[in-house]
Chains A and B, each alone.
Chain A
Amino acid sequence: MDRKRLALWFDRKGWSDILILAPYVWLLLFFLLPFIIVVGMSVGTKTPTAPPISFGGDYPLINLQGYVRTVADSLYFRAFITSLVSAGIATVLCLLIGYPMALGLTRVSRSWRNILLMLVILPFWTSFLLRVYAWMGLMGKSSWFNAGLTSLWNDIVPASWAVEFVPMMHSNFAVVLVMVYTYLPFMILPLYASLERLDPTLDEAALDLGSKPWQVFLDVTLPQSIPGIIAGGMLVFIPAAGELVIPTLVGDASSPMIGRVISDQFSAARDWPMASAIAVVLLVLMVGPAVLYSHFQAKAEGSK
């Protein structure tokens, strides 16, 4: 059977429809359905039963208390702000560190490029939890790393500023540091993908027309890599904003991040409607801009 007839048979039997359908079924089963359940729970009422949630009967069918508290209670508002600010700082730092690395990857020889790309991905081969524990060890007050930083600090500042150790653990600094470490590959890879596609003769054209290398970067390279910056930014910002493990292990317990709050509400406080309401608000805050972006992106593509 030649290729054309094979393709015809494939279409007639409806196999292509099934293939196209597969990702939608996946999204329906593992994203939309759970999300509808979470939205449903967010309008329920907390009860001392098992499961600890009720609808109707003695309780209102739709109870918006969770949403009201999410907006009104400053604890939740502060947690949102802490999360968004930490994730934002981590994203910017990932961009500042990742951009030169991604650009460097496109400028080295092909054999070096494969080795370096491998090194970027290599950390994924170790358990994420293990790597966070390693950072805890490094940042702790008795580690060689902290001792080294302490003596460096004590050497350069006046004696009255001297410290016994650098207080890194259990701070937002530690959270951002570990987030940058964890999410850096998610910034580098999309940036690399977009920079690698750029035509190097465009750089030469700009040089030829009188631009110095830094001007070429600003005029030619940077504007063309904006899709990569946005993709990398979203891949870092979205999971970082909802991060639970890193703030729990190295963060400051007195200013929790929103992932921690959801987890606490769900397990310790057994307030499922509250936890669900926060999760829904977080999702809208995260996905909203992404949807808007892809909408405008599609519009821009359409006008081409």
Chain B
Amino acid sequence: MAAAEPFLRIENISKSFGTFQAVRNVSLNVEKGEIFSLLGGSGCGKTTLLRMLAGFEEPSGGKIYLDGRDMTGVAPWDRPVHMMFQSYALFPHMTVEKNIGYGLKHEKLSPQQKADRVREMLELVQLVPYATRKPHQISGGQRQRVALARALARQPKLLLLDEPLAALDKKLRERTQFELMAIQARTGVTFIVVTHDQEEAMTLSDRIAVMDKGEVKQVGSPGDIYEFPNSRFVADFIGSITSFPATILARSEAQLRLSVPALGGDVVARDVPGLSEGQDATVSIRPEKLHISRDRPEGANAFPGKVKDLAYFGKDSLYRVVLSSGALVQAHAVNASRGGEASRAPGWDDQVWISFDPASAIVLAE
């Protein structure tokens, strides 16, 4: 059975503060070497879950097993788990190298070994020239790397990152994101990232757990979560989407036929297990899955409408199309050609057809 035991096993964890239930019965498995994200809005319980992993909060119920060891009652200072705080929490009265070496004073290492480890960490985050600076003498991005190096210096089994990129500006964020992934790959440490930023979670993570109101709504790879959301909440939370109420008319040959009054017609979609004829459902479509054209396209799932709004971004355009029912849909069109062909692109108030592939429609039983 030892081989089947996941590296980190969170089992039915709950946490209440007074009458408020911050985390409700969460179970998760994380494999060694994964970048695993807890994604959700503020108050969804992701930070509380992280603090329970660090040992700052004791769960009200449930267990956490790390590498086979029950972490119940283990003090924060005894856990092989280190955290990179959102504010970085660097010690202002210590230099960069003292900050990085701080945790090492609890390791049984010779002074030389400690100095070597600090040096290694400084090299890992490319801060060797800043070793003797104080935190207030370096930039925000450098502080973030000091925090990372400090948390990694003791070679933790688990690294917890609380909104690791939130305090950085957009440009730095993109670069740092790739740096984080590279450092994770080099060290092999398992990362648990807490974030409210879906883009951050999508690009960083191997797997994501989407949380809402203390519960885990869905766990999966970024692609799974985006393309196959299992609930309205997940579908709405990740990326943009247009959803319409629908009724299932028929199921046949792995296909569903739904009546969608807002679209002004029937929709053909891939079959979803667990649905039955006559049941109410939701049809959701991502803007980039919608095609927009002046002429009626071939095949099913084509509906007429009129361009209400058009945002031109250069490489692509975002259309808001009002349908005959009065409903609005968003369609994303890549401006793949220029010149004569591009002038054929629909403009304001043009009559257009929107269409989508049956495989692109997301059908949810809510």
Contact = CB atoms under 8 A, between A and B. Distances in A.
Report which residue of A202, A210, A220, A304 has the largest number of chain B beta carbons within 10 angstroms of its beta carbon.
A210
Interface in A204-218: 204-212
B154 A220 contact: no
Interface residues of B, number: 27
Interface stretch (B16-24, B80-88, B296-304): B80-88
Contacts of A208: 54-56, 76-77, 81-83, 151
Contact of A207 (B76, B93, B150, B151): B76
B89 A210 contact: no
Interface in A164-187: none
Contacts of A204: 54, 56, 76, 83, 85, 89
A58 interface: no
A209 B103 contact: yes
How big is chain A's contact interface, by range? 10 to 19
Given A204-B56, A224-B92, A211 B106 contact: yes
B267 to A, nearest CB: 51
Grouping DSSP codes into helix (H, G, I), strand (E, B) and loop, the A interface class, with mixed when no group exceeds half, is helix
A223 interface: yes
A219 interface: yes
A295 to B, nearest CB: 20
B93 A211 contact: no
Nearest to B136: A304
Interface string B147-182: 000110010000000000000000000000000000
A206 B91 CA distance: 9
Grouping DSSP codes into helix (H, G, I), strand (E, B) and loop, the B interface class, with mixed when no group exceeds half, is mixed
B85 A201 contact: yes
A199 interface: yes
Contact of A209 (B55, B82, B134): B82
Contacts of A211: 77, 102, 106
Contact of A223 (B75, B76, B93, B136): B93
Nearest to B87: A201
A205 B83 contact: yes
A222 to B, nearest CB: 10
Report which residue of B56, B91, B105, B154 has the largest number of chain A beta carbons within 10 angstroms of its beta carbon.
B91
Interface string A190-201: 000000000101
Given A201-B85, A204-B85, A219-B102, A210 B77 contact: yes
Contacts of A220: 91
B76 A205 contact: no
Contacts of A212: 75, 77
A210 B56 contact: no
Contact of B102 (A199, A209, A224, A304): A209
Interface in B129-146: 134, 136-137
18 contacts: A201-B87, A201-B89, A204-B56, A206-B91, A207-B56, A207-B75, A207-B77, A208-B56, A208-B77, A209-B150, A210-B103, A210-B105, A210-B154, A211-B77, A211-B102, A220-B91, A224-B93, A304-B136
Given A208-B54, A208-B77, 16 more contacts: A204-B54, A204-B76, A205-B91, A206-B102, A207-B56, A207-B77, A208-B56, A208-B76, A208-B81, A208-B82, A209-B102, A209-B103, A210-B103, A210-B106, A212-B77, A224-B93
6 interchain residue pairs of minimum CB distance: A209-B103, A210-B106, A205-B89, A201-B89, A207-B76, A223-B93
